[in-house]
Amino acid sequence: MRHQWISRIGSRFGGQLLKYGVVTGLAALVTVGALALLLNILERKREAQNPFFRVVELTDETTDPAVWGKNFPIQYDSYKRTVDQVRTRYGGSEALPRTPTQADPRSVVAQSKLEEDPRLKTLWAGYAFALDTREDRGHAYMLEDATFTGRQARPQPGACLNCHSSVYTAYKKLGDGDIMKGFERFNALPFAEARKLVEHPVACIDCHDPETMQLRITRPAFIEGIRQLKAREGIPDYDVNRMATRQEMRTYVCAQCHVEYYFKGESKRLTFPWTHGIKIEEILAYYDEHGVKDWNHAETGAPVLKVQHPEFELWSQGIHARSGVSCADCHMPYQRVGAFKVSDHHVRSPMLNVHRACQTCHPWPEDELKARVHAIQDRTHQLRDRALDALMDLIADIRAAREAGLDERGLQEALDYHRKAQFYIDFIEAENSTGFHAPEEAARILAEAIDFCRRGQTALRKLATSGGPTTAALARDEANDL
Q: According to the binding rule CB under 6 A, does residue 348 interact with ligand HEC?
A: yes
- Minimum CB separation of residue 74 from ligand HEC in Å reads 7
In 332-438, which residue ranges form alpha helices assigned H by DSSP? Answer: 354-357, 366-403, 408-430
- Minimum CB separation of residue 86 from ligand HEC in Å reads 8
**What is the sign of the dihedral through the CA atoms of 72, 74, 75 and 80?**
positive
Q: How many Å apart are CA 310 and CA 305, to the nearest integer?
A: 13
Q: According to the binding rule CB under 6 A, does residue 123 interact with ligand HEC?
A: no
Q: According to the binding rule CB under 6 A, does residue 65 interact with ligand HEC?
A: yes
Pattern 380-419, ligand HEC, x by CB under 6 A: ----------------------------------------
**What is the sign of the dihedral through the CA atoms of 315, 316, 318 and 323?**
positive
Q: According to the binding rule CB under 6 A, does residue 59 interact with ligand HEC?
A: no
- By CB under 6 A, what part of segment 210-229 binds ligand HEC? 213, 215
In the bound state with ligand HEC, the residue whose beta carbon lies nearer, of 139 and 420, is: 139
In the bound state with ligand HEC, the residue whose beta carbon lies nearer, of 28 and 42, is: 42
Q: Near ligand HEC by CB under 6 A, which window of 223-231, 398-406, 427-435, 455-463?
A: 427-435
Q: How many Å apart are CA 164 and CA 105, to the nearest integer?
A: 18
List all residues 6 or more positions away from 227 whose beta carbon is below 8 Å from its beta carbon.
237, 238, 239, 240
Q: How many Å apart are CA 122 and CA 393, to the nearest integer?
A: 11
Q: How many Å apart are CA 64 and CA 165, to the nearest integer?
A: 12
Judged by DSSP in three states, 45 sits in helix
- By CB under 6 A, what part of segment 138-157 binds ligand HEC? 138-139, 141-142, 145-146, 149, 151, 156
Judged by DSSP in three states, 215 sits in strand
Residue in 327, 406, 438, 446 binding ligand HEC, rule: CB under 6 A = 327
- By CB under 6 A, what part of segment 151-210 binds ligand HEC? 151, 156, 160, 162-164, 202-204, 206-208
* Residue-by-residue DSSP string for 421-466: HHHHHHHHHHSTTTTTTSHHHHHHHHHHHHHHHHHHHHHHHHHHHH
In the bound state with ligand HEC, the residue whose beta carbon lies nearer, of 278 and 449, is: 278
Specify the pairing of strand 96-97 against strand 108-109: antiparallel
Q: According to the binding rule CB under 6 A, does residue 427 interact with ligand HEC?
A: no
Pattern 34-53, ligand HEC, x by CB under 6 A: ----------------x---
Compute the half-sphere exposure of residue 419: CA atoms within 13 Å on the CB side of its CA: 22
Identify which of 391, 455, 398 has the alpha carbon closest to the alpha carbon of residue 427.
391
Residue in 76, 296, 416, 443 binding ligand HEC, rule: CB under 6 A = 76
Q: According to the binding rule CB under 6 A, does residue 255 interact with ligand HEC?
A: yes
In the bound state with ligand HEC, the residue whose beta carbon lies nearer, of 346 and 402, is: 346
Q: Near ligand HEC by CB under 6 A, which window of 23-31, 343-351, 405-413, 461-469?
A: 343-351
Q: According to the binding rule CB under 6 A, does residue 125 interact with ligand HEC?
A: no
